[in-house]
A and B are shown apart, each in its own frame.
Chain A
């Protein structure tokens, strides 16, 4: 009888400890997030879309996503970031291969639609973030002179877990991962130093 009660007590105690640790950890993470005034972001002028964002993020599906700037986008029929222009053409001469290995770049016709000739249409390209793994193939393919350079890689704050030291920043060969101040928060010491410099 005493054996049974002590085992129950032991299990009870173990679960309590684990529970306390879990609550404490979550509180710590939330406190850290709430107190930080800067976040990790990618400098598009330094980024070379080297593919390390895909492989180095601690998340299984990287927090880095491609983003399309619709102001700059040409709404091309033959978007070099969407179609692999070197792939086998179909009977109308349109390339059949896609650039994105995850098929995360989605397109739809916008404006007046000509069903007979697709060359007369404009197409909008949007990123499916549940598929995009931040490999940057589309970003590379859209760079001038091939495209307008409307695509870029961005760290999505809603997905980023704000590691103490960003795993992508550690390996980034271009120093493209930077800390940027969040609007409405006081700048961090290192960002104000950088501004002074």
Chain B
């Protein structure tokens, strides 16, 4: 039997492919893969290219602090109203850098390059211009006011007349980064955040000593570049150590006297975030008032670190990085909110809140929600 011959033009398979579409397809394919590789084709929007996200670890249940009063705070503060900003008329235009309380509970507010003085009742008494880059102020018992500015301390008499001043800094001529000033009798104490210590001067600018250098652990840790302090009638200095989440106590000669506070997100007694407390004040009965950022709140402690009261974040702008503090002779707390440019006053209610439940936002979950919201 004669084998069947292929018809003309059929040939073998390769030959047919070569002659027909194979060369064109090969070239087009090679070109397409070259262009695709060169351009690395853009993925569809929303495509997750790399993800190693892990589910968040479970949050531990809230634990009451060892010293926290069971179920509530011992003392409660209520807002009395605003002295500056808010419903009050005396709004600063662009800045509010600090507040201080002087004799007769007269209030001094620093902002917009000027000082505004208010009677205890809230009426505006005087306004005077100060150096434009002033960062803090303090009022002495004789009514003199001192202003802290980068590398300088300026002194004004009760009428607002400039009566003196001096350069502040180290012996090498580096100017002090002054973030807080306070009067103690006839001395002026100035916090130098750049050098991470407190400088002690007499009224004429002669340096009498340094505070913050004698601790075993080293000087203050200040990630936020801010050092605040207050001094009580006995000369005990309470200063913020924001990186260590502590309030530290010092004698005037620089001897460390102790500290309290630690980081924590679950217990209102602790300090949240990277660096807190940012501001501090001491009341006439020795209680310590702290101001925090991130969860903007004010807390009142016993000198040994037991939490007495808490003024919650609903009273302040959540974007505050400072809550400047001052206290008057009656124990009222004055808080300057630099974002809202508002000075609020809080007065203590009789200590009857022993059995009051913790408000939800001050529980561990509440603090975390507040943190996440901001």
B-side interface residues, number (CB < 8 Å): 60
- Residue pair A58, B39 in contact (C-beta under 8 Å): yes
- Residue pair A119, B221 in contact (C-beta under 8 Å): yes
- Residue pair B15, A76 in contact (C-beta under 8 Å): no
CB distance from A167 to the nearest CB of B (A): 5
CB distance from A85 to the nearest CB of B (A): 6
Chain B positions within 8 Å of A120 at CB level: 217-218, 221, 244
Cα(A97)–Cα(B59), bound, Å = 11
Chain B positions within 8 Å of A76 at CB level: 223, 243, 274-275
Within 8 A of B (CB), among A82-121: 84-89, 93-97, 101-103, 112, 114, 117, 119-120
Cα(A160)–Cα(B257), bound, Å = 56
CB distance from A54 to the nearest CB of B (A): 7
CB distance from B320 to the nearest CB of A (A): 6
Q: Is B51 an interface position by the 8 A CB rule?
A: yes
Given contacts A7-B18, A58-B39, contact A77 B221 (CB under 8 A): yes
Chain A positions within 8 Å of B244 at CB level: 119-120
Per a CB cutoff under 8 Å, which of B45, B58, B221, B225 touches A171? Answer: B45
- Residue pair B38, A85 in contact (C-beta under 8 Å): no
- Residue pair B262, A93 in contact (C-beta under 8 Å): yes
Nearest-neighbor residue (CB-CB) of B270 within chain A: A93
Q: Is B171 an interface position by the 8 A CB rule?
A: no
Q: Is B66 an interface position by the 8 A CB rule?
A: no
Chain A positions within 8 Å of B23 at CB level: 10, 14
Q: Is A183 an interface position by the 8 A CB rule?
A: no
Instruction: Tell me which of B25-33, B92-100, B111-119 binds A.
Output: B25-33
CB distance from B40 to the nearest CB of A (A): 5
Q: Is A40 an interface position by the 8 A CB rule?
A: no
- Residue pair A78, B15 in contact (C-beta under 8 Å): no
Contact with A along B39-62 (1 / 0, CB 8 A): 111110111111111101111100
- Residue pair B56, A74 in contact (C-beta under 8 Å): no
CB distance from A55 to the nearest CB of B (A): 6
Q: Is B123 an interface position by the 8 A CB rule?
A: no
Nearest-neighbor residue (CB-CB) of B223 within chain A: A74
- Residue pair B319, A97 in contact (C-beta under 8 Å): no
Per a CB cutoff under 8 Å, which of B27, B43, B59, B293 touches A14? Answer: B27
CB distance from A104 to the nearest CB of B (A): 10
- Residue pair A145, B293 in contact (C-beta under 8 Å): yes
Nearest-neighbor residue (CB-CB) of A94 within chain B: B263
Instruction: Tell me which of B76-84, B160-168, B349-357, B366-374 binds A.
Output: B366-374
Chain A positions within 8 Å of B293 at CB level: 145
- Residue pair A18, B18 in contact (C-beta under 8 Å): no
Q: Is A79 an interface position by the 8 A CB rule?
A: yes
- Residue pair A146, B60 in contact (C-beta under 8 Å): no
Given contacts A3-B15, A85-B371, contact A60 B31 (CB under 8 A): no
- Residue pair A146, B374 in contact (C-beta under 8 Å): yes
- Residue pair B49, A87 in contact (C-beta under 8 Å): no
Cα(A113)–Cα(B101), bound, Å = 41
Chain A positions within 8 Å of B275 at CB level: 74, 76, 78
Nearest-neighbor residue (CB-CB) of B22 within chain A: A10
Q: Is A61 an interface position by the 8 A CB rule?
A: yes
- Residue pair A88, B52 in contact (C-beta under 8 Å): no
Cα(A170)–Cα(B143), bound, Å = 61
Per a CB cutoff under 8 Å, which of B217, B218, B245, B294 touches A145? Answer: B294
Chain B positions within 8 Å of A112 at CB level: 218
Q: Is B272 an interface position by the 8 A CB rule?
A: yes
- Residue pair B56, A87 in contact (C-beta under 8 Å): yes
Contact with A along B221-252 (1 / 0, CB 8 A): 11111000000000000000001110000000
Chain B positions within 8 Å of A3 at CB level: 15
**Residue positions of B touching A, CB distance < 8 A:** 14-15, 18, 23, 26-27, 30-31, 34-35, 38-43, 45-54, 56-60, 217-218, 221-225, 243-245, 262-265, 272-275, 293-294, 296, 318-321, 368, 371-372, 374
Q: Could you list some 7 contacts between A and B, CB below 8 A?
A: A17-B27, A22-B34, A76-B243, A85-B265, A88-B58, A146-B294, A171-B45
In addition to A7-B18, A58-B40, A60-B49, 8 A-B residue pairs with Cβ atoms within 8 Å of each other are A7-B14, A14-B23, A74-B222, A76-B223, A77-B223, A93-B262, A145-B296, A146-B294
